[in-house]
Amino acid sequence: MKKTLFSLTALFVMTSPVITVYAQQDVALVSPSVNTVQPKIMVIPYTKEGEDLRTILEADVNKRIALTKIKEAFDSRGFTTVDFVAKLKAAKDNNIFTSGTQSDIKSQIIQMSGADVYVQAEVDVLTGSSGTGVTLVLTGYEASTGNSLANKVGTSGKFYTDDIGKLASKAVESCANDFLNVMQAKFTDIVNNGKSVIVDISFDANSSVKMSSEPGSSGLPLSDQLEEWMGKNAFKNNYHIQGTTDTKMIFDDVRIPLKDANGNNYSSNKFALELFKFFKTINLNPAKDIKSNTIFITLK
Amino acid sequence: MEKYFFYTLLIIIAAGCSPRIMTHDASVNFLSAVDGTITLRAIGEGSNKNSVASAQQKVITALLFRGIPESPEKFPLIGTSEGEEKAKHPEYFNSLYDGQRYKSFISSTIPTTSVYRESGSRKTAFDIKVNVNALRSDLEANKIIRKFGY
């Protein structure tokens, strides 16, 4: 009896780690897979006010080399960027083909707005008695909100050479990986906390409604009803109001999820539709325009 | 009777003791990085064969969970929560470390010192070149980390 008790205890102790290992494996098997719509990223040269992007790019081969190296870094991570010049050409070609169709200035802006994320590259050549060097300033930001995603300065080091293209390549290599890692950390934050959209609510010139009006049955001013709705519908209650006046209300950072409850991709368009439905429930007549991640609502 | 009781009690106490957590020093320093590869100097511990494996595992662990200061891989490839990640993907990490899959990401291992003794253990320094691009792709393919983007 005693011997059996001893053997059973020993057996229990020896088998318990095995049970633990299988328990961990079961947890790993149910981890969800990832499949999400990706942002469109465009690499562009830095331009001063009044300068034209295309002219700057066509005039300087070294800038083109730097931009190509940056795009190469994105490619090495399996990510395809949008080519600025090709996009511009495509937009012009599309314009020729659709010139007979109905078009307005808003449609043209949407056609020309190329990307969700811009990566801006500033290339500076420094020549002195100790040699020539290239400094590269890389800035990544969300096109609609202006939220900064990654910033890095790369340097080539100084060499006695006039091969600026090679120096530009070295400057890119010195910081590209780091830049992409920071950007990926921000993308992961977006996955966890939602992506930013701007919601701009204004009134038609002939509208009799104002932000202080009390539409619907709640008896609350429209601006307060809107904030209540935003609090309920923004992802993790995460939103920021830029300002409210009697004629305008701007939410400059509203977080929306990348996927809806069913696991389907969720876009700013779908969020705008929810907002549209809300206005209808309080007997208002909204019109919505969407440019990338910016939602414009005009109440009539 | 007392003898059996003593042994049973001993086994229960031994099983109840929390496992000893061994923390090894990282001893991994950046040397150079070229075109998707990174060369690091690491200190291996133990006999000849063991010291190579020890140094290589330290390099892989540092890249996955610590990041390498002064290098393009300042951020860890996975994250700093080592225990949590290993618990989430036990099959992958068992295969990587115990199954020695980590060796497939190592391009070269060159000893830079002869064996020396420090704090009572035998140590050797190695220059180890790792194919970081392949390691990252492998982590992405096995869904340990997200691909670039959302």
The pLDDT, as a whole number, for residue A255 is 95
What pLDDT is recorded for position A29?
31
Q: Report whether A71 contacts A43 (CB < 8 A).
A: yes
Indicate whether A210 and A181 sit together in one domain: no
**DSSP single-letter state for residue B121:** E
pLDDT in tens, B127-144: 999 999 999 999 999 999
**Are A285 and A257 within one domain?**
yes
CB-based contact, A159 to chain B, within 8 Å: no
CA distances from A143 to A69, A113, A218 (A): 22, 9, 37
Write out the two tokens for B107: 């391009």
Q: In angstroms, rounded to a whole number, what is the distance separating the alpha carbons of residues B37 and B60?
A: 13
Report chain B's mean pLDDT, rounded to a whole number: 86
pLDDT of residue A289: 92
Q: Do B11 and A77 touch (CB under 8 A)?
A: no
Give yes or no for residue B21 having a pLDDT over 50.
no
CATH number for the domain including A181? 3.30.160
The whole domain housing A185 covers 41-94+104-191
> Domains in chain B: how many in total?
1
Tokens of B42: 């690491």
**Within an 8 Å CB–CB cutoff, is residue A281 touching chain B?**
no
- Closest of B44, B25, B37 to residue B113, by C-alpha: B44
Distance from CA of B142 to the nearest CA of A (A): 10
pLDDT digits (tens, 9 = 90+) for A28-41: 333 345 466 788 89
B19 pLDDT band (50/70/90 cuts)?
A: very low
Q: Got the DSSP string for A267-279?
A: -HHHHHHHHHHHH
The beta-carbon neighbor of A187 closest among B75, B91, B150 is B150
**Both A267 and A146 in a single domain?**
no
Q: Is A10 inside any structural domain?
A: no
Q: Residue B27 sits in which domain range?
A: 23-141
Instruction: Give the tens place of pLDDT for each residue, A60-94.
Output: 888 889 899 899 889 888 888 988 878 777 777 77
Collect the ranges in chain A with pLDDT lower than 50: 13, 15-32, 34
A243 and A126 together in one domain: no
Read off the pTM: 0.75
A170 found inside a domain: yes
Contact A13 B73 (CB under 8 A): no
Q: CB distance B143–A24 less than 8 Å?
A: no
Number of structural domains, chain A? 2
Asked whether residue A205 falls in the same domain as residue A177, the answer is no
Q: Which of residues 49-78 of A touch B (CB under 8 A)?
A: 74, 76-78
Assess whether A249 and A201 both reside in one domain.
yes
Whether A184 and A64 map to the same domain: the answer is yes
Q: Does the distance separating the beta carbons of A177 and B72 come in below 8 Å?
A: yes
On whether ipTM exceeds 0.90, the answer is no
b/e string for A24-52 if b means 16 or more Cβ within 10 A? eeeeeeeeeeeebeebbbbbbbbeeeeee
Which residue in A has a C-alpha nearest to residue B146's C-alpha?
A34
Q: Is residue B150 part of a domain?
A: no
Whole-Å CA distances, B63 to A171, A298, B76, B80? 23, 51, 6, 10
DSSP label at A30? T
B114's enclosing H/E stretch is none
pLDDT of residue B20: 46
